[in-house]
Structure 1
Amino acid sequence: MILQIQPNFPCENCIKCGKRPHVEQHKEKWTVACPDKNCKNQVKSTIADFTTWNRLNKKATTITVDKKSEKLKQTA
């Protein structure tokens, strides 16, 4: 059984293709999966694990460092 996730529920889109995931139930396992089967991006658990899905599909943030304020020590 495939269930669509409500639009107001906080859930990251697939990091590979950008589509919104859906939830599937297979016996006692729940899967949060990308609707595009070519991605094969999914999280399986005994519960619908949106926390793991969001952690794995969050885009990396870039950290910029001001080179003037950065001081490095030379060792050895």
Structure 2
Amino acid sequence: MILEIQPNIHCENCSKCGRRPHVEQQKKFWIVTCPNKDCKNFVKGELVNIEGWNKINKPNTSLNQKQDFKKTA
């Protein structure tokens, strides 16, 4: 069974393709997964783990910031 995540729930988009994930139920496990099967991006657990999904799909802002390096030697 596939369920869409409501828009008012904070959930990061997939870091690989940018699509919003959905929730699947398989027997006793809940899987937060990307609808694009080529990404193979998912979080599996006995409860719906949106926080775990957000941790692995967090936008990396440190790559966008310019770092200033100083010579020490």
Same fold by TM (over 0.5)?
yes
Tell me the residue number matched to 1:40.
40
Q: How far apart are the structure 1 equivalents of 2:10 and 2:19?
A: 14
Consecutive unaligned residues in structure 1, runs of 5 or more:
none
Tell me the residue number matched to 1:4.
4
What TM-score does the superposition give when structure 2 sets the normalisation length? Answer: 0.85
Displacement after TM superposition at 1:65 (Å)? 4.9
Tell me the residue number matched to 1:15.
15
Aligned length: 71
Consecutive unaligned residues in structure 2, runs of 5 or more:
none
State the identity %.
52
Cα deviation code 1:12-43 (max 9, x no counterpart) = 00000000000000010000000000000000
- Could you say what secondary structure the match of 2:8 adopts? coil
Q: How far apart are the structure 2 equivalents of 1:12 and 1:66?
A: 29
Which 4+ runs in 1 deviate beyond 6 A? none
